[in-house]
């Protein structure tokens, strides 16, 4: 098929600032859901006109491909998990995003839907933008910001008060913070498209919150898209994982309550039966357990 | 003066891999000192043919300039502290680097000498290389690796054994580790050309070492070139500092024994009289206190 640049999507790739602003204003609002659905539809339309280039997967039991605009030297999108990407299902179920009824979809299909929403915009941005890694990260933050705010019924903050003996106000800049109210659970939610070796920051921020406010006051929940890395020359896909470091960080820096992934890395999945066990699960399960989380479990 | 590209330096900018290899082999060796001196001389020669472009300093009481190859759109090097850069003194005193007698130079001149050695190669690399930030960082690591190994009489390692109840060998990858022997001090020495908001990694690694081996077993010493940031369009220089976060990280993640800077940032200097006080000092003082450090003080 001949390459076809979607002019709508090129506009969208600049409109992400509006999405960012709306999310900061009221992440749980229907306007944010609509904009995410709109972005996803446009991205899927654009991607349907792209080629799918098979990749050499170095990850056991996983198959990956890249989207590419046709041409002599096709530019590749990030790696897409073949088993999780499902454009038809995403288009069919996008209304559940708007209506906030994602929990009604069966877990396997919900996992594919969420992955497809998250990765489509990122891939479209990979192909249409040059050298701007901020756009996909911002979209991903808005997406997670919306899901959490809508599920918990409160918007996020991005700083925490730090108690002081002396009379000075100190605040700690953080990722998303959800405070469900007095004597109710509070959550510290770092959001990353990938963590790699930077994951130590996540544990360290949790450690500061534990130190400042006491253990268990803020529960740490990491939300991450994937840990894949694509070598654009050899077209090999690997997952960059440091499970032994995770074990050390968990034992010696801070305990994290959940690690949600849209594409759960094999080596981190194994940590669920490690010592101590760490809760590394597909993000789709969030919608099943959000009531338990809100109840402090 | 007409611009003149130094062909020797262009060769040197690829020869840094040899320096890296020699440092990994035996950082305290005379060969490493010779190579650093050689690199510095070549860099100073090259920079003497460059223009000095005044910068707009937004840092109180500090003046900065950039080196630039003459031309219509001159490419700027990183910001250079005018009071600390002293090419004549550096050429005159380079023998003290070779002979390991830096402690014989008076502190103010030693501070300028060390700053000039560290910044010259970085500036030359800024102007001669494109988009390769790894080279200056590698040179800086080799420089610090040499100073510490020579002063302590032992080479660094870059991993630490982690004790386990079960029968498995786990190691933690780290920055430089110096082990002065059984029942003698051990040091954890992260080396960065700048830290910015990534400094939390330094405290978090220290925390893991404190947790694994107990408090005080490994003393943390950060070595950093500067925290300046140059806006290449407006030519403004700022220091990116987060002193309130440093205070929180120090109190709630881990205590660091020293913070050495080649160009001490104003806002971190103020932490020396903070609560708790943090030892932020010019790197030149290392040569005065290395015996105390080695004795466990």
Q: Which pLDDT does position B104 carry in this prediction?
A: 94
User: By the CB < 8 Å criterion, does B255 face chain A?
Assistant: no
Each residue's pLDDT tens digit, A57-87: 999 999 999 999 877 778 899 999 999 999 9
CB A243 within 8 A of CB A216: no
CB A50 within 8 A of CB A76: no
Residue B159 has pLDDT above 80, yes or no: yes
- CA dist., res. B146 & res. B152, Å (int): 10
Q: Which pLDDT does position A253 carry in this prediction?
A: 96
A102 closest CA partner among A261, A283, A297: A283
Each residue's pLDDT tens digit, A127-138: 887 655 568 899
Compute the nearest-CA separation of A144 from chain B (Å).
Answer: 23
Beta strands in B35-156 (DSSP E): 51-54, 56-57, 64-68, 80-81
A contact test, residue of B159, B164, B207, B218 with most A CBs within 10 A: B207
Kindly indicate the confidence band of residue A17, based on its pLDDT and cuts at 50, 70 and 90: confident
Q: Which two tokens stand for residue A249?
A: 């960080």
- CA dist., res. B270 & res. B267, Å (int): 5
User: By the CB < 8 Å criterion, does A213 face chain B?
Assistant: no
Compute the nearest-CA separation of A250 from chain B (Å).
Answer: 10
Among A66-70, A243-247, B168-172, B293-297, whose mean pLDDT is lowest?
B168-172
Task: Give chain B's mean pLDDT.
Answer: 90
Residue B64 has pLDDT above 50, yes or no: yes
Q: Which two tokens stand for residue A146?
A: 């919306």
Among A70-74, B79-83, B289-293, whose mean pLDDT is lowest?
A70-74
- On chain A, the residues whose CB falls within 8 A of the CB of B248 are 162, 170, 172, 208, 212
Each residue's pLDDT tens digit, B237-282: 999 999 999 999 999 999 999 999 999 999 999 999 999 999 999 9
Q: Which pLDDT does position A228 carry in this prediction?
A: 97
Phi, psi of B133 (to 5 degrees): -85, -5
Please name the residue of chain B whose CA is at the shortest distance from the CA of residue A205.
B200
DSSP A274: S
Task: Give chain A's mean pLDDT.
Answer: 90
Cα dihedral value B218, B220, B225, B230, nearest 10: 130
B contact test, residue of A207, A210, A217 with most B CBs within 10 A: A207
Each residue's pLDDT tens digit, A107-134: 999 999 999 999 999 999 888 876 555 6
A73 closest CA partner among A255, A233, A281, A282: A233
Reported as type and span, the H/E element at residue A65 is: strand A64-68
- CA dist., res. A3 & res. A71, Å (int): 8
Among B102-111, B156-165, B264-273, whose mean pLDDT is lowest?
B156-165
Please answer yes or no on whether A252 and B200 come within 8 Å at the CB atom.
no
- On chain B, the residues whose CB falls within 8 A of the CB of A253 are 204, 207-208, 211, 253
Residue B9 has pLDDT above 70, yes or no: no
Q: Which pLDDT does position B272 carry in this prediction?
A: 97
CB B126 within 8 A of CB B136: yes
Q: Which residue has the tokens 């006080």?
A: B277
User: By the CB < 8 Å criterion, does B244 face chain A?
Assistant: yes
Length of chain B measured in residues = 297
Across residues B81-105, what is the average pLDDT?
94
């Amino acid at each position: 098929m001949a390459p076809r640049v979607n002019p709508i999507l090129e506009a969208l790739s600049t409109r992400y600032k509006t999405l960012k602003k709306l999310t900061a204003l009221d992440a749980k609002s229907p306007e944010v859901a609509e904009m995410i659905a709109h972005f996803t539809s446009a991205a899927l339309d654009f991607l349907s006109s792209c080629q799918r280039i098979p990749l050499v997967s170095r990850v056991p039991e996983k198959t990956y491909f890249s989207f590419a605009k046709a041409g002599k030297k096709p530019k590749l999108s990030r790696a897409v998990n073949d088993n999780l990407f499902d454009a038809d299902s995403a288009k069919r179920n996008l209304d559940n995003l708007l209506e906030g009824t994602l929990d009604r979809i069966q877990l396997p299909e919900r996992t594919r839907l969420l992955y497809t929403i998250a990765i489509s915009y990122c891939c479209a941005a990979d192909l249409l933008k040059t050298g701007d890694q901020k756009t996909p990260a911002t979209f991903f933050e808005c997406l997670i910001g919306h899901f959490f705010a809508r599920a918990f019924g409160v918007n996020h903050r991005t700083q925490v008060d730090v108690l002081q003996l002396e009379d000075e106000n100190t605040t700690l800049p953080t990722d998303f913070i959800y405070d469900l109210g007095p004597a109710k659970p509070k959550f510290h939610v770092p959001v990353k498209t990938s963590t790699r070796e930077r994951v130590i920051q996540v544990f360290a921020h949790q450690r500061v919150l534990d130190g400042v406010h006491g253990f268990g006051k803020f529960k740490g929940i990491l939300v991450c898209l994937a840990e894949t890395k694509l070598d654009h020359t050899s077209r090999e896909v690997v997952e960059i994982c440091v499970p032994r470091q995770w074990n050390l960080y968990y034992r010696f820096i801070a305990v994290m309550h959940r690690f949600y992934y849209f594409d759960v890395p094999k080596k981190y999945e194994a940590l669920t039966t490690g010592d101590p066990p760490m809760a590394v699960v597909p993000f789709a399960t969030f919608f099943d357990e959000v009531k338990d989380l809100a109840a402090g479990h």
